[in-house]
Structure 1
């Protein structure tokens, strides 16, 4: 089972920042998960929310700000909002990267950045809207893609395959060994979010889970 630092290490460092990513890397994660939006000036930027208020000292929609405006903001502890390009360079050769696309119609921009960095083989793209997954696979079939879900699917393999994806990602409360086994039988990997209790790790490992997301990678990595 591989560990994924959720938004870097959001309970141990400012989320979706280079400091958080370095913290997760130092903890020995196998992958890091980030979220992306498009700035008004066209760059793919790393931030979870559609608006700035929760994680920065700015206000308003992310998409209404240029990169220059966004990078003047404090994203926690003096950190700045990074671009996807900056994050890719930071993780290059050190861990894999799950890139969650939060908004529609930015798939091409995201794929172009990943392809331009020559890191297609190091990345997954994920989304709750499975049309995003489908579009990403059309643009770059070699890029692995992950279908996010809330709830327990009746046909987990069918859902992922219908979108052309490779991985099913769902909350840990919907996870059990039967679901993992069914996915594996259909050639689909399983990623679950978010586990922050070291005492639960062995149970997920025993299920055969492929990827476990955590907000506390430094605490869980040794479990």
Structure 2
């Protein structure tokens, strides 16, 4: 089971910063996950939200700001927003990389950088956008479909009650979307990671990675269910 650092080791360091990725590597991850956006001047930067005010001391949308402007912001503990190239440099010869495509307009540029940096074999591009995944696949990059439940906190009880009815439909929908996007892996949200779901996807020759798993109990349960990878904010929980 792959140990995947979610935004690095964001349970300990500011997510999607070089500091966070280095911490994840220190905690012996197999892979780190990051989120990619395209700047106004066509550079790929790594942060979780398109609205920079959510994770930095700045304001505005990534698409409306240049790399130089973004570099002036504090992404936490004095860290700067990194570029994809910088993240690859940190990961090289240390761990693999999962790049999540948040907006379709960044997919082509992300793929170009991965190829240029000769990091194709070490990278998975993940998205819920079929077109982004198909484009990456053409360049020889591994791809994964992201799928999550639409459950809100308010709807969790109803979801639990109706799980028996919902999951058979969801299984077929995930399988169809995976086939349409021509992927070999599915990144599944934790509420959907049931024994039946994992068994069904494995039976259909799809690897299953689950996010975001931040309890030791869930990590142990998923290991017993033979999932292929787990995204976590706390990579050291695997050793405990």
TM-score after normalising by structure 1: 0.94
- Match of residue 209 from structure 1: 227
- Match of residue 135 from structure 1: 135
For structure 1, the residue ranges without an aligned partner over 5 or more in a row are none
- Match of residue 159 from structure 1: 177
RMSD after superposition: 1.2
Structure 2 contact 40–65 (Cα < 8 Å) conserved: yes
Alignment deviations for residues 16-63 of structure 1 (CA, whole Å, 9 cap, x no partner): 000000011101111100000011111110011011101111100011
- Give the CA deviation at 1:6: 0.5
1:7 aligns with 2:7: yes
TM-score after normalising by structure 2: 0.88
Structure label with greater radius of gyration: 2
For structure 2, the residue ranges without an aligned partner over 5 or more in a row are 150-166
Tell me, in whole angstroms, the C-alpha distance in 1 between the residues paired with 2:171 and 2:26: 38
- Poorly superposed stretches of 4+, deviation over 6 Å: none
Structure 1 contact 14–20 (Cα < 8 Å) conserved: yes
- Match of residue 58 from structure 1: 58
- Give the CA deviation at 1:66: 0.9
1:95 aligns with 2:95: yes
Structure 1 contact 136–145 (Cα < 8 Å) conserved: yes
- Give the CA deviation at 1:200: 2.2
Tell me, in whole angstroms, the C-alpha distance in 2 between the residues paired with 1:92 and 1:128: 26
Tell me, in whole angstroms, the C-alpha distance in 2 between the residues paired with 1:95 and 1:187: 25
Tell me, in whole angstroms, the C-alpha distance in 1 between the residues paired with 2:185 and 2:146: 9
- Give the CA deviation at 1:158: 3.0
